[in-house]
Amino acid sequence: MPNARSVIPLSMIGAATYVSIVERGWFRLRRLELPLLRPGRPPFTILHISDLHLTPRRRRLIRWVRALGRLEPDLVVNTGDSIAHPASVPAFAEAVGPLLERPGVFVYGSNDLYAPRPENPLAYLRRSAPSDFHRWVRPDLPWEELGARLRAAGWLDLNNAAERIEAGGLSVEVRGIHDSHIAQDDYARVAGPADPGADVRLGVMHSPEPRNLDAFTADGFDLLLAGHTHGGQVRVPFAGPIVTNCGIDRERARGLHRNGAAWLHVSAGLGTSPYLPVRFSCPPEATLLTLVPRDGQGAPRRPHGSGTPI
């Protein structure tokens, strides 16, 4: 029978295995219905992926993301931090290969430009302001190659840019900004009222900084999509995330919430930094949002998650 001295190390090993292997690889697809469209419009599906932080050896994650192509979404939105290694672009292209056949848009996150680096986890817990790492280090990840691959497939680059597309039988206005976490966002370049004639008006960003959320909302965008927070990555059961790593409040670190008149969806993301490969009470996820005609109440139906891609 094990004694107390053996039970404690075994418990520690079990906890470490769970947070670094079990939950980190427990990929979920969340499905949400959001009554956002005008009456008579057909349902419109958006696949929101974010924060893969992909390294070439993460074959299970690559296979899982690749299987999302079976969903055949009307639009794919990638909110950044796609890669985490100099050789990751081919792996990411493999992962999203079937999705590149669908209409898509993307923005960069800081880790598309700057490789992750080891740091004290306590520093992460204290951080809420934008990082100043970019001020003294040149980008060392192939972000230009990543963007070129996505643009070549027809995905729209929304880094401080605005576009209008036709997808799923609807007219969609899309506006995006570069990552505020490294002070590359420039909302002034895209500012202005959203087109009231568009069927859907999407604001896309990596980090959900409140000042940018409010700017999109003030300009009349219906749905804002962001990542970056990893949902907190480590969440205390019944209490939520310890930290958001940006200016957004902890209550909105993941999932669907309001930002004034707009809806906000923050993805908990699919990966982690290679130097902090843990998740607790916050499984990695992608989200399929189905926009449907308004039901008169304007409230979203209750979300549910699944461990399989479809």
Calpha distance 130→177 (Å, rounded):
15
pLDDT at residue 9 greater than cutoff 70: no
Among residues of the chain, what percentage have pLDDT more than 90?
Answer: 75
Distance of alpha carbon 246 from alpha carbon 209, whole angstroms? 6
Confidence of residue 4 (pLDDT cuts 50, 70, 90): low
Residue boundaries of the structural domains of the chain: 4-305
Grade residue 276 by pLDDT with cuts at 50, 70 and 90.
confident
Predicted local distance difference test score (pLDDT) of residue 150? 98
Alpha helices (H) in the chain, listed in sequence order: 4-17, 59-67, 89-95, 110-113, 121-126, 143-152, 210-218
As assigned by CATH, the class of the 4-305 domain is alpha beta
206 or 6, greater pLDDT: 206
Q: From CA 99, how far away is CA 118, in angstroms rounded? A: 32
pLDDT band at 275, cuts 50/70/90?
confident
Highest mean pLDDT among 9-18, 127-136, 188-197, 267-276: 188-197
At 7 the pLDDT is 46
Does the pLDDT of residue 247 top 80, yes or no? yes
Ramachandran assignment for 255, one of left (phi > 0), alpha (psi -120 to 50 degrees), beta (any other): left
Q: pLDDT at position 118, please?
A: 79
Q: Band of the pLDDT at 137, cuts 50, 70, 90?
A: confident
Report the range of poorest mean pLDDT among 22-26, 122-126, 134-138, 151-155.
122-126
- 237 to 31, 242, 281: CA distances (angstroms): 22, 11, 7
CA distance 309 to 193: 36
User: pLDDT category, 295, cuts 50, 70, 90?
Assistant: confident
Tens digits of residue pLDDT in 57-70 = 999 999 999 999 99
pLDDT, greater one: 131 or 30: 30
Q: What is the mean pLDDT of residues 182-209?
A: 97
7-16, 87-96, 135-144, 222-231: range with lowest mean pLDDT: 7-16
The pLDDT mean for the chain works out to 89
Nearest to 289 by CA among 267, 271, 272: 267
Is the pTM here over 0.85, yes or no? yes
Residue 206: closest CA among 187, 183, 232, 180: 180
Residue with tokens 């003294």: 136
Is residue 169 very low, low, confident or very high in pLDDT (cuts 50, 70, 90)? very high
Tell me: pLDDT of 123 over 80.
Answer: no
pLDDT of residue 10: 46
In DSSP terms, 172 is beta-bridged to 165, 200
Q: Per-residue pLDDT averaged across 166-172, rounded?
A: 97
pLDDT exceeds 90 at position 94: yes
Only one residue has tokens 């002070």, namely: 183
pLDDT over 80 (residue 305): no
Q: What is residue 55's three-state secondary structure?
A: coil
